[in-house]
């Protein structure tokens, strides 16, 4: 038989529970539950469906005018000119390699038309910072010092390709420039960047990792895992989302219902900013400030750069199937990152009207020369199929290698052995 109910003593009350009755007029205002410490109680039954839209930071308008003199870029003439030259060189390289793919000379390519202002983020980083790219960050790599020859060798997968012919074109990587090799699956680099940043923090180095991805990749589970890990562990990482309006053929309006990608950063407790991704100086300023937060305070930062993908998603895509040509043409003329940067330079007297033609001509000459040289080189040696995974080849790999070598000796014409570099 149950005994008489005993009153709740102070020792029996749950940890953190208030002694004030929930019906009392002096009820505690702030929520004490450990899962939402910044919340307050309310008597209104309402479902939260939206918050105030996050503004978009801008330094200059579409005509290259700085809107607030306090935001005038503090860079030297040489630094600004180098950024602009790299935008022009990137365009020249994209044009040549896009046409080369259409001629069947390389298997695949992706251009950066419309997103050239991304170079502003590269200029704001330290060369020791570790970059995790997606596949439209050639401008970042170019600004870091990756040579035209190295770009060509990778796209041709020849014997001088740093990746030894194991990756698709535009899947660049270089240890020397702290640029992690790109992989095709979406968003895999996001938790990797968070983990690398955590390692940098534990080493006590004043460095950060920088992770680039598109708004489509933000729909992957790795995005959520990576941001949450970075927030809870205090990882010095900059997440840079290129929101270019389309995830291949899926427009942003069908990709999400919330306030872009930036609102998700706030949800994870991450310092977040949305910028005009076609404004190279807005990108530069935001990335520079984000790096300071990451490196000096061990805090992750999310940058959502609003831009527009003028090009097809890749050479495997025909964007006219899901958007009109007029839409693309309007964007090209209305808000061109290259034109904005040129107008800013000309207004300062740092660039003349005829300088473009000279730079573009020189860039195309260099690209075509490197292109022709890369095309003549042999493919990587067959041994590269088996190396760089184990310190010593396993018996199974040794058997497979011997089998392939025997087949190549027996059928040299079929396997086109003269097209490959010789094994040492």
Residue 424 in domain: no
- The answer on 2 and 114 residing in a single domain is no
pLDDT value of position 10: 43
pLDDT value of position 48: 84
Task: Tell me the per-residue pLDDT of 358-381, one tens digit each, with 9 for 90 and over.
Answer: 999 999 999 999 999 999 999 999
pLDDT value of position 12: 42
Q: Is 99 a catalytic residue?
A: yes
Q: Which two tokens stand for residue 216?
A: 């489509």
Distances from the Cα of 88 to the Cαs of 18, 57, 286, 304, 417, in angstroms?
65, 25, 23, 24, 39
Catalytic residue among 24, 184, 249, 320: 184
> Left if phi > 0, otherwise alpha if psi is -120 to 50, otherwise beta: which for 144?
alpha
- The answer on 394 and 300 residing in a single domain is no
User: pLDDT > 90: what percent of the chain?
Assistant: 86
Residue 147 in domain: yes
pLDDT value of position 32: 83
Per-state percent for the chain, helix, strand, coil, to nearest 5: 45, 10, 45
Range 121-137 average pLDDT: 97
Given the structure tokens 């300088």, which residue do they identify?
355
Contact 201, 165 (CB under 8 A): no
Residue predicted with more confidence, 190 or 25: 190
Instruction: DSSP letter for 18, please.
Output: -
- The answer on 389 and 261 residing in a single domain is no
Given the structure tokens 């939260």, which residue do they identify?
48
Residue predicted with more confidence, 12 or 138: 138
Range 96-108 average pLDDT: 96
Backbone phi and psi for residue 377, each to the nearest 5 degrees, phi listed first: -70, 155
Contact 322, 249 (CB under 8 A): yes
Q: Is 184 a catalytic residue?
A: yes
- The answer on 277 and 128 residing in a single domain is yes
Residue 169 in domain: yes
pLDDT value of position 376: 97
Instruction: Place 235 in a pLDDT band, splitting at 50, 70 and 90.
Output: very high
Residue 272 burial (10 A CB sphere; 0-12, 13-18, 19+): buried
Q: Which two tokens stand for residue 300?
A: 């992750």
Given the structure tokens 């004490």, which residue do they identify?
32
- The answer on 400 and 327 residing in a single domain is no
pLDDT value of position 192: 98
Mean pLDDT lowest among 23-37, 199-213, 264-278, 290-304: 23-37
Name the average pLDDT for the chain: 92
- The answer on 239 and 193 residing in a single domain is yes
Q: To which H or E segment does residue 237 belong? A: strand 237-243
- The answer on 167 and 255 residing in a single domain is yes
**Which of 86, 108, 157, 71 is CA-nearest to residue 377?**
157
**CA 220 to CA 191: how far, in whole Å?**
11
Residue 314 in domain: yes
Given the structure tokens 């027996």, which residue do they identify?
410
Residue 18, pLDDT above cutoff 50: no
Task: Tell me the per-residue pLDDT of 136-154, one tens digit each, with 9 for 90 and over.
Answer: 999 999 999 999 999 999 9
**Which of 317, 365, 348, 340 is CA-nearest to residue 87?**
340
**Which of 304, 216, 217 is CA-nearest to residue 255?**
216
Q: Where are the beta strands (DSSP E) in 282-347?
A: 301-306
Taking the CB of residue 200, how many other CB atoms lie within 10 A of it?
Answer: 23
Mean pLDDT lowest among 35-49, 242-256, 303-317, 324-338: 35-49
Contact 85, 78 (CB under 8 A): no
Residue 263 in domain: yes
**CA 351 to CA 361: how far, in whole Å?**
16
Residue 34, pLDDT above cutoff 90: no
pLDDT value of position 38: 85
**CA 323 to CA 313: how far, in whole Å?**
12
Domain count, the chain: 3
Instruction: DSSP letter for 421, please.
Output: P
**CA 191 to CA 253: how far, in whole Å?**
26
Residue 390, pLDDT above cutoff 60: yes
Angle at 339 between CA 315 and CA 248, to 5 degrees: 25
**CA 190 to CA 149: how far, in whole Å?**
29
- The answer on 68 and 36 residing in a single domain is no
Q: What is the CATH number of the domain that holds 273?
A: 3.40.50.970
- The answer on 388 and 364 residing in a single domain is no
pLDDT value of position 28: 59
pLDDT value of position 5: 47
- The answer on 320 and 410 residing in a single domain is no
Q: Whole domain around residue 261: which residue ranges?
A: 56-376
- The answer on 167 and 146 residing in a single domain is yes
Residue 192 in domain: yes
Contact 110, 182 (CB under 8 A): no
Residue 343 in domain: yes
Residue 9, pLDDT above cutoff 80: no
Catalytic residue among 121, 209, 311, 314: 314
Residue 17, pLDDT above cutoff 80: no
Residue 51 in domain: no
- The answer on 142 and 38 residing in a single domain is no
For residue 305, list its beta bridge partners.
242, 275
Helix runs in 32-107, H state only: 77-102
Catalytic residue among 24, 39, 72, 99: 99
Residue 113, pLDDT above cutoff 80: yes
User: pLDDT > 70: what percent of the chain?
Assistant: 93
Task: Tell me the per-residue pLDDT of 48-92, one tens digit each, with 9 for 90 and over.
Answer: 887 889 999 999 999 999 999 999 999 999 999 999 999 999 999
């Amino acid at each position: 038989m149950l005994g008489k109910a005993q009153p709740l003593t102070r020792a029996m009350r749950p940890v953190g529970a208030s002694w004030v009755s929930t019906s009392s007029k002096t009820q505690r205002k702030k929520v004490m539950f450990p899962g939402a410490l910044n919340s307050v109680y309310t008597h209104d039954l309402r479902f939260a469906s939206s918050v105030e839209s996050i503004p978009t930071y801008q330094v200059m308008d579409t005509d290259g005018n700085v809107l607030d003199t306090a935001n005038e870029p503090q860079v030297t003439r040489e630094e600004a000119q180098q950024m602009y030259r790299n935008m022009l060189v990137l365009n020249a390289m994209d044009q040549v390699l896009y046409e080369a793919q259409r001629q069947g000379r390389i298997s695949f390519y992706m251009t950066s038309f419309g997103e050239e202002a991304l170079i502003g983020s590269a200029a704001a980083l330290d060369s020791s910072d570790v970059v995790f790219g997606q596949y439209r960050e050639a401008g970042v790599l170019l600004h870091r010092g990756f040579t035209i020859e190295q770009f060509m060798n990778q796209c041709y997968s020849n014997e001088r390709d740093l990746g030894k012919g194991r990756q698709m074109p535009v899947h660049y990587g270089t240890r020397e420039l702290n640029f992690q090799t790109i992989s095709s699956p979406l968003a895999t680099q996001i938790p990797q960047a968070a983990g690398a940043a955590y390692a940098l923090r534990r080493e006590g180095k004043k460095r950060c990792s920088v992770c680039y991805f598109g708004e489509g990749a933000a729909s992957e589970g790795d995005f959520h895992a990576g941001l949450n890990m970075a927030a809870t562990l205090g990882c010095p990482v900059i997440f840079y989302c290129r929101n270019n309006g389309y995830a291949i053929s899926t427009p942003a309006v069908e990709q999400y219902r919330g306030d872009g990608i930036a609102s998700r950063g706030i949800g994870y407790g991450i310092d977040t900013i949305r910028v005009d991704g076609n404004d190279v100086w807005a990108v530069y300023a935001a990335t520079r400030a984000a790096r300071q937060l990451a490196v000096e305070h061990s805090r992750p930062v999310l940058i959502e750069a609003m831009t527009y993908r003028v090009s097809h998603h890749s050479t495997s895509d025909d964007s006219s199937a899901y958007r009109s040509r007029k839409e693309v043409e309007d964007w090209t003329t209305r808000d061109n990152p290259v034109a904005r940067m040129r107008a800013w330079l000309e207004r300062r007297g740092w660039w003349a009207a005829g300088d473009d033609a000279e730079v573009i001509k020189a860039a195309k000459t260099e690209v075509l020369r490197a292109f022709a040289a890369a095309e003549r080189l042999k493919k990587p040696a067959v041994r590269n199929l088996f190396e760089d995974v184990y310190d010593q080849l396993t018996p199974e790999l040794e058997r497979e290698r011997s089998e392939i070598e025997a087949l190549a000796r027996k059928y040299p014409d079929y396997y086109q052995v003269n097209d490959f570099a010789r094994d040492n």
